[in-house]
Amino acid sequence: MKIDPWSSTTYQDYAKLRDEFGIEDFSDDLWKNLPNPHKLLRRGVIFGHRGFQVIQDSVVKKKPWAILTGLMPSGKMHLGHKMVIDEVIYYQSIGADINIAVADIETFATRGRTLEEAKDLALNEYIPSYIALGLKPEKCRIYFQSKNEDVKDLAYILGKKVNWSQMQATYGFDGSSNMAHIFSPLVQTGDILHVQLEKYGGNRPTLVPVGVDQDPHIRLSRDIVQAHRFYNVTVTRDKKIGVFVKIDENVSKLLDDAEKILRSLNFNRLKRITDYKAIYIEDAKEQDIQMIDEMLAKQETKLGGYGFFQPSATFHRFITGLTGDKMSSSKPESAIFLTDSLKDATKKIMNAKTGGAVSLEEQKKHGGKPDECVVYELFLYHLIDDDKELQDIHISCKNGEKMCGQCKKYAAQLMEKLLTNIQEKRKAAAGKIKQYLSV
């Protein structure tokens, strides 16, 4: 199995994806102590992560951390696209600084749009909706890939430690793949890591909230970070904690610096073995590794390195289309667009594929299947904030009290409210876009 970021596959078996790709389970203990956890976190829509512990730690200890995510301006914005921005807005409310890439280069390379078209879509379609949904201009910047020199430079420079075999194995590129497409994952790596450059706030934990189709880019970014580090802090096979210098230049200076830092952190039982380019820390515990690693990363930046922290990521499930397959801009009947008329939205909901039984009688007898119902998904992802109310619907559907007709009507009503609110606010948003854009 391969995850293809540019295909239109839906992934049904999320647990299997986790196992196969080493994505970690987004378990309760990761979000329970965050302030007012968002419904997408509480309800298992976010089902997996890489390195979220670092983010949790920053939130709890009120240390700076960043959000970086991106949008492909290739069609109209629908409910599937809304999820990421809902997450972003939540993270903004709990202290993250927000960075959003308009992936115009990727859209050009993979969706056959010009940079100009991508720009128009971003400015007229996506960004006004982001603002309408509640994204605040403070500590927030939206930029275009094609206009950011730092992103493009990083893409090029970081590419030095990635080879063609790795790109083929990760993405399935072959001799017929065009170079712009082949290069686009490196641009995305540039997006993800540039926020840690001094100019954009320096080295800090960065969370990339995305759909699971983006995991190959996350893995690539995390690998690239490791490949460019000067130091590595790990537990060895014989359970010792050590700092290792990974490069061949300036080894003794790097070891001296590491030693100084370790002593300043109050580690005293240090065993330096210059031949191994290593310092073993006999009085360190496994919990100390991250903190030591962060201190050493900072030191690297003084020696001309990047010292990037590995980016963290969360992965959300994809919302099912109203027709029962993928929600996609190219099939308007499958998607509710944020700019849909109320009449169209209602019509799509009334035609949606539910988990209802073949007849009313059957449904009264055996109940419906909310977990296989697109209307229920609308409640779960977008329409109902109150967990108790959601649970009541689940129960009364299952025990045959609730019928699909009335249930759809209720969903349509809530959807009308949501869309009216968004569309109202979109009107005022046009005049505010400038506050968000960074050049």
**Residue 376 near ligand SF4 by CB under 6 A:** yes
Instruction: Output the smallest distance, CB 305 to ligand SF4, in A.
Output: 54
Binding mask 129-158 for ligand SF4 (x = CB under 6 A): ------------------------------
Binding mask 378-417 for ligand SF4 (x = CB under 6 A): -------------------x----xxx--xx---------
- State which of residues 23, 208, 378, 393 lies at the interface with ligand TRP (CB under 6 A): 208
- The 3-state DSSP composition of the chain as helix, strand, coil percent (nearest 5) reads 55, 15, 35
Between CA 399 and CA 35 the distance in angstroms is: 34
Residue span binding ligand TRP (CB under 6 A) among the ranges 122-130, 187-195, 273-281, 402-410: 187-195
DSSP per residue over 336-398, as a string?
-BTT--HHHHHHHHHT---S--SSHHHHHHH---GGG-HHHHHIIIII---HHHHHHHHHHHH
Binding mask 312-351 for ligand SF4 (x = CB under 6 A): ----------------------------------------
- In whole angstroms, what separates CA 44 from the centre of its chain? 15
**Residue 131 near ligand TRP by CB under 6 A:** no
| Distances from the Cα of 151 to the Cα of 73, 143, 166, angstroms | 18, 10, 21
- State which of residues 375, 383, 390, 429 lies at the interface with ligand SF4 (CB under 6 A): 375
CB 213 within 8 A of CB 317: no
Between CA 313 and CA 438 the distance in angstroms is: 24
Q: Which of 162, 214, 204 is nearest to 311 (CA)?
A: 204
- Beta strands, E only, 127-203: 140-144
- State which of residues 104, 106, 257, 294 lies at the interface with ligand TRP (CB under 6 A): 106
Instruction: Output the smallest distance, CB 66 to ligand TRP, in A.
Output: 12
Q: Tell me which of ligand SF4, ligand TRP, none is bound by residue 208, counting a contact when its beta carbon lies within the kind-specific cut-off of 5 to 8 angstroms.
A: ligand TRP
**Residue 281 near ligand TRP by CB under 6 A:** no
Q: Is 336 exposed, middle or buried (0-12, 13-18, 19+ CB in 10 A)?
A: buried
**Residue 146 near ligand TRP by CB under 6 A:** no
| Distances from the Cα of 365 to the Cα of 322, 389, 390, 401, 403, angstroms | 26, 23, 22, 9, 11
Contacts of 154 (CB under 8 A, 6+ apart): 189, 190, 193, 194, 197
CB 408 within 8 A of CB 379: no
Q: Tell me which of ligand SF4, ligand TRP, none is bound by residue 186, counting a contact when its beta carbon lies within the kind-specific cut-off of 5 to 8 angstroms.
A: none
- DSSP state, residue 323: T
Residue span binding ligand SF4 (CB under 6 A) among the ranges 64-72, 219-227, 250-258, 369-377: 369-377
The token pair at 203 is: 């080295």
Q: Tell me which of ligand TRP, ligand SF4, none is bound by residue 370, counting a contact when its beta carbon lies within the kind-specific cut-off of 5 to 8 angstroms.
A: ligand SF4
Residue span binding ligand SF4 (CB under 6 A) among the ranges 18-26, 38-46, 306-314, 368-376: 368-376
**By CB under 6 A, what part of segment 20-39 binds ligand SF4?**
none
CB 244 within 8 A of CB 234: yes
Q: How many residues at the interface with ligand SF4, by CB under 6 A?
A: 14
- State which of residues 17, 89, 98, 103 lies at the interface with ligand TRP (CB under 6 A): 103
Q: Tell me which of ligand SF4, ligand TRP, none is bound by residue 402, counting a contact when its beta carbon lies within the kind-specific cut-off of 5 to 8 angstroms.
A: ligand SF4
Instruction: Output the smallest distance, CB 311 to ligand TRP, in A.
Output: 9
* Phi and psi torsions of 317, nearest 5°: -70, 160
Between CA 101 and CA 141 the distance in angstroms is: 9
Q: Tell me which of ligand SF4, ligand TRP, none is bound by residue 66, counting a contact when its beta carbon lies within the kind-specific cut-off of 5 to 8 angstroms.
A: none
Rule CB under 6 A: which residues touch ligand SF4? 354-356, 368, 370, 373, 375-376, 397, 402-404, 407-408
Site residues (CB under 6 A) for ligand TRP? 5, 68-70, 72, 101, 103, 106, 188, 191-192, 208, 210, 214
